[in-house]
Structure 1
Amino acid sequence: MEAEAERTGPFGKQSCGWCRFFKFWISGLSRISDFGFRIPAVPQPSAFRACLKNGWNGLPARFWGQPAAKRPGGLVARRNRPVACSTQKTVFRQALSRPALSHCSLVLWALLGINVIGALSPAAAAAPRQPNVLFIAVDDMNNDLGCYGHLMVKSPNIDRLARMGVKFDRAYCQFPLCSPSRSSLMTGLRPSQTRVFNLQYHFRTGLPDVVTLSQLFKNNGYFAARVGKIYHYGNPGQIGTSGLDDPPSWSQVINPAGRDKTVIETNILNYTPKRGLGSAMCYLPDAEGRDEDHTDGKVALETIKLLEAHRDKPFFIATGFYKPHTPYVAPKKYFDLYPLDSIKLPAIPADEQARAPKPALASNAPWPYFGVTEDQARECKRAYYATISFVDAQIGKVLEAMDRLQLWDNTIVVFWSDHGYHLGEHGLWMKQSLFEESARVPLIIVAPGTKARGKTSPRVVEFVDLYPTLADLAELTPPANLAGASLRPLLNNPIRRWNRPAFTQVQRGQFPGYSVRTERWRYIEWDDGAKGTQLYDHRTDPRELNNLAANPKYAKTVAEMKALIKRNWPVRVEGGRAPDARKPGA
């Protein structure tokens, strides 16, 4: 009898691997502190699944401590004959002795109980890791993407992100120019607070103690890294340098430079030679270079290296791509995706210049299209789309690394562009207008633990909302003076009530232009209205062609919009002046 007990008893020599593992576990329970049990790590759920699917022999041999052909209880398995799972009682009883069956059942129930106890202990409560953040920025990209309904542009990887998270259909930047927009987003403050209105002034000149978004994460134990352009760079002039970076924001910075900057820049075709490449109508299809030879290809590869190196600790990795910013340069295969005869320009009404105040069209001089011909503008539009697809392919490589490294379950991914971009609407090209095409931006957030997946939010949101959103998702305490609101409620219910307008501004020499956008209206005023006002009804006029500001029928709406403008900009603030002002980049 004693020999039989030794063979089949719960912790005898012939006991199953789970029993012996349980015995080890029980011995660990004797180590009790004032704060609760210290329990050895729980076996992976995959082991339980293997048991249920393939029987006890489906478990890895390391759990048995004996040859794989041996079954629990000392029974020998016949080769190539599957062993039924524990729920198939008839076959199971043929495979296991009754004592073995009873003690294995006891073990599984005991393990379950210990896991419940462990989950309630303080040690287990502290176990969940802080979420990672992958912060993907693109430069000068508008909403001409497949996921936003564009029928021509090929952006399968950005579209994939939209299917995984929440796509914001009405997201707006605070200032449609690189440095003012990026400074506002990263500080969570409006341009009137940072005083960054140009490409030279750094926000720390006036706000030396401000805690930026990535700095908040770094201060809370995160590895915070920048690859490429997050703060302003003169593009392409400062590629390969840190540009107008913010060192306190990062643990590490990487400044790639590819053949687009170092080898073929002199070959770029420039239709506006009086303008620098960073603000010119210019492009080049690279017939020889590979993706990884270009700056943005290197940005993707460096990002992947960081993901691999820091996968096991909390990270905030900011990946800043340089395209589709001009000069529009990419490998030729991306140009081949867009036959030139398929590229069309939006029609310009004959009275366009009479429809809007003069400052509204002042971002392009000469007007339209900086003076290039329509055919040249079409070539540039094709090149712009080619660079979108090129950047999308590089983003795809980063997403594949996320797959391979199994980081999705604990990584928040944000995709954003610093501002929108005109491609001929109103006769304009590029940015720095207050029309929809310039102020509106693509924004996608994939956040583990939130309810919405593959949904679109029609609510009006702004870039200053990103800082409080990420702090909220990571359960970090943000600075008290942030201008925005957490978007977490919209990540759970994208169509919930949300009554917050978006504010965007630009500068025209000595006077500002202010815009407020609600779900229905866009209202703009120049120099506090002295140099013109604009009102557009987006229910009937999404292209913003019919200015209703002077129509008495809409006087009440104009008054309401003026009140919102005054609330956001109670006094006029002058932009900061950099002591070492350089010639603007782009």
Structure 2
Amino acid sequence: MKNNTVLCVLLLMVTLHSIKAQEKQNVLVFLIDDLRTELGCYGNDVVKSPNIDKLASEGTLFTRAYSQQGICAPSRISILTGLRPETVGIYDLFTPLRSVHKEMLTVPKYFKENGYKTISIGKVYHHGRDDVESWTNFYQKEPNSWVSQTNLELIEKFKKEGRENTRGPALESADVADEGYKDGRTTQHAIQTLKELKNDNFVMFVGFTKPHLPFNAPKKYWDLYDKDTFLVPSRNEPINMYKNALTNWNELRAYYGIPREGTLDDNLTRDLIHGYYASISYMDAQVGKIMATLDDLDLRKNTLVVFMSDHGYKIGEYGAWCKHTNFELDVRVPLIISNNYDSSAPKEKQVSEALVENVDLFPTLVEACGLKMPDLDGKSLLPLLQDPDMAWSDGAYSLYPRGKDTMGCTVTDGSWRYTEWRDSKTQQVRAIELYDHSNDNPIAVENLAGNAQYGQVEARMRGLLIKKFPRTTYSFYRQ
């Protein structure tokens, strides 16, 4: 009898623990690599993204969301610290956060300290094991995607020849299951982890590498598209642009089959666009599998879901590729937030044109989970889930360095983009750019800085930039 009583008490305690856990807000963040707003829910009628579109139909889609830097490592550090790159002092691909900031507060560190299970699956930080001690569950990102035996042999041949860069082709469409490439395996691990932690409070980041190069995806996703229908973007550079505003996109040139100099011909351009779109559809399918698991486990009702990208991308515009600039295409990102836990939050799609930033993720998660707000650069976006049209920020800010002594500081007000290229130490302005995006065209056509017709606009945008980046007192220090 006594043993039965003890057993009943233990079962009751487990049940109460489970109920208590389920009463609290969980978090699932899909952090995507190199994805611009190239989705059906953002108005692209070519890209097949049904699962992301469905998520958008159940939450708030932000049309004016921006990354703080158009490059992977600093952008992801900014997302995970809630601090801007200029606060952290890291602007390059080569410096892990914990190599210079041993105790800086991060999303996983803060939530772990507050009793949450914190889970990293796939590519979350750029440097695989950066901040690893802040995660209770850590799934090391894998090496580059699976490639065919032919391409593996090609890579080995390059190594034997002593080539400095031994990357294989930029494209591959193997006839394999989703798990034949690493995002499929990331999905499997995420699903298994959700099943194991369904009775715990968790903050889970799932980092998908696609559509990052190489554009490798199972053949069935390539078969969704007819490359001959793709329009080749204009290769015209913006008139009067700053000479160093664009790059030579060496990230793509490092792959086999890509010319070392010059623009790409129409056929190769269409092939790469095909690969980019196929990679998006492949990634979209993985999102769908994880969301279905969330529903099957009855976790959707108390899990805030965020879908976001670290930065944007160019697919041939200006005759250029990849990111690494301050242009709209490289800093504008998709952002979707769905919060079923808040009973007053809308359960149908709503759209917000508010100027929001990736640095806002950390405070949004803190407020959603009812925790004390730390000192962060971003601000919570939860009010916009209640009123997507409310007055919000005047500008969204990004930056990008050129060389060791030049920093490009940029701001958008949603219609105009204003950029100053400055000496990193003295703040002396070396060049100014002003681009008109008032017709919702993400392409920069002509630098209108110095044009008397737009003098008032330029003065207003200059004032907006200086609010965040003062010319005389600010220094872009580097770690």
What displacement does 1:368 show? 11
Percent pairwise identity = 37
Letter aligned with residue 411 of structure 1? T
Residue 156 (structure 1) aligned with residue 50 (structure 2): yes
What displacement does 1:189 show? 0.4
- Out of 572, 577, 581, which is 2:475 matched to? 572
Query: Does the CA contact (< 8 Å) of 1:415 and 1:443 recur in 2?
Result: yes
Residue 303 (structure 1) aligned with residue 181 (structure 2): no
Secondary structure (helix, strand or coil) at the match of 1:334 reads: helix
Secondary structure (helix, strand or coil) at the match of 1:355 reads: coil
What displacement does 1:267 show? 4.9
Secondary structure (helix, strand or coil) at the match of 1:459 reads: coil
1:14-53 to structure 2, matched below 5 A, reads none
Letter aligned with residue 407 of structure 1? L
Letter aligned with residue 374 of structure 2? P
Letter aligned with residue 332 of structure 1? K
Question: 2:256 corresponds to which residue?
Answer: none
What displacement does 1:344 show? 1.7
Instruction: Single out whichever of 544-553 and 520-529 deviates more from structure 2.
Output: 520-529
- Out of 404, 413, 433, which is 1:534 matched to? 433
Q: Note closer, same or farther for the CA distance 1:359–1:265 as it changes in structure 2 (3 Å cut).
A: farther
The structure whose RCO (Cα within 8 Å, separation 6+) is larger is 2
Query: Does the CA contact (< 8 Å) of 1:461 and 1:500 recur in 2?
Result: no
Letter aligned with residue 573 of structure 1? F
State which structure, 1 or 2, has the greater radius of gyration over its C-alpha atoms.
Answer: 1
Structure 2, unmatched stretches of 5+, are 1-11, 254-258
Question: 1:146 corresponds to which residue?
Answer: 40
- Out of 240, 249, 255, which is 1:364 matched to? 249
What displacement does 1:553 show? 2.5
What displacement does 1:569 show? 2.3
- Out of 425, 438, 446, which is 1:546 matched to? 446
TM-score by length of 2: 0.85
What displacement does 1:128 show? 7.1
Query: Structure 2 CA distance, aligned partners of 1:148 and 1:368?
Result: 33
CA deviations over 1:237-296 (Å, ceiling 9, x no partner)? xxxxxx2521232001112548933765835999xx989577x97111112x21022210
Question: 1:558 corresponds to which residue?
Answer: 458
Question: 1:516 corresponds to which residue?
Answer: 411
Residue 134 (structure 1) aligned with residue 28 (structure 2): yes
- Out of 104, 109, 133, which is 1:248 matched to? 133
Q: Note closer, same or farther for the CA distance 1:509–1:141 as it changes in structure 2 (3 Å cut).
A: same
Query: Structure 1 CA distance, aligned partners of 2:144 and 2:459?
Result: 53
Residue 285 (structure 1) aligned with residue 285 (structure 2): no
CA deviations over 1:300-351 (Å, ceiling 9, x no partner)? 11001111111111011111111110011011111111112112211233xx
What displacement does 1:230 show? 0.4
What displacement does 1:537 show? 2.6
What displacement does 1:533 show? 1.4
- Out of 421, 429, 433, which is 2:321 matched to? 429
What displacement does 1:541 show? 6.5
CA deviations over 1:498-530 (Å, ceiling 9, x no partner)? 134111111110211111011222111112574
Letter aligned with residue 183 of structure 1? I
Q: Note closer, same or farther for the CA distance 1:267–1:383 as it changes in structure 2 (3 Å cut).
A: farther
Question: 2:240 corresponds to which residue?
Answer: 355
Q: Note closer, same or farther for the CA distance 1:474–1:523 as it changes in structure 2 (3 Å cut).
A: same
Query: Does the CA contact (< 8 Å) of 1:368 and 1:428 recur in 2?
Result: no
Q: Note closer, same or farther for the CA distance 1:163–1:562 as it changes in structure 2 (3 Å cut).
A: same
1:167-182 to structure 2, matched below 5 A, reads 167-182=61-76
What displacement does 1:369 show? 8.6
Query: Structure 2 CA distance, aligned partners of 1:495 and 1:265?
Result: 53
CA deviations over 1:118-173 (Å, ceiling 9, x no partner)? xxxxx9x9897220101111111111100000010000000011001101000000
Question: 1:484 corresponds to which residue?
Answer: 378
Query: Structure 2 CA distance, aligned partners of 1:437 and 1:512?
Result: 19
Structure 1, unmatched stretches of 5+, are 1-40, 42-122, 234-242, 577-586
Query: Structure 2 CA distance, aligned partners of 1:139 and 1:524?
Result: 25
Query: Structure 2 CA distance, aligned partners of 1:398 and 1:369?
Result: 41
CA deviations over 1:188-244 (Å, ceiling 9, x no partner)? 0010111111111122333322110122111111111111100004xxxxxxxxx25
Q: Note closer, same or farther for the CA distance 1:483–1:256 as it changes in structure 2 (3 Å cut).
A: closer
Letter aligned with residue 312 of structure 1? N
CA deviations over 1:395-447 (Å, ceiling 9, x no partner)? 11101101111111100001111100101122221101111110000111111
C-alpha RMSD of matched pairs (Å): 2.8
Letter aligned with residue 301 of structure 1? Q
Query: Structure 2 CA distance, aligned partners of 1:300 and 1:550?
Result: 51
Question: 1:52 corresponds to which residue?
Answer: none
Question: 1:213 corresponds to which residue?
Answer: 107
Q: Note closer, same or farther for the CA distance 1:205–1:255 as it changes in structure 2 (3 Å cut).
A: closer
Query: Structure 2 CA distance, aligned partners of 1:489 and 1:560?
Result: 27
Instruction: Single out whichever of 492-501 and 223-232 deviates more from structure 2.
Output: 492-501
Secondary structure (helix, strand or coil) at the match of 2:380 reads: coil
Letter aligned with residue 548 of structure 1? L
Query: Does the CA contact (< 8 Å) of 2:411 and 2:461 recur in 1?
Result: yes
Secondary structure (helix, strand or coil) at the match of 1:308 reads: helix
Query: Does the CA contact (< 8 Å) of 2:22 and 2:302 recur in 1?
Result: no
Runs ≥4 in structure 1, deviation > 4 angstroms? 125-128, 262-265, 267-270, 273-278, 365-370
Question: 2:5 corresponds to which residue?
Answer: none
1:1-400 to structure 2, matched below 5 A, reads 129-233=23-127, 243-255=128-140, 257=142, 260-261=145-146, 264=149, 266-267=151-152, 276=165, 282-287=170-175, 289-349=176-236, 352=237, 354-364=239-249, 371-400=263-292
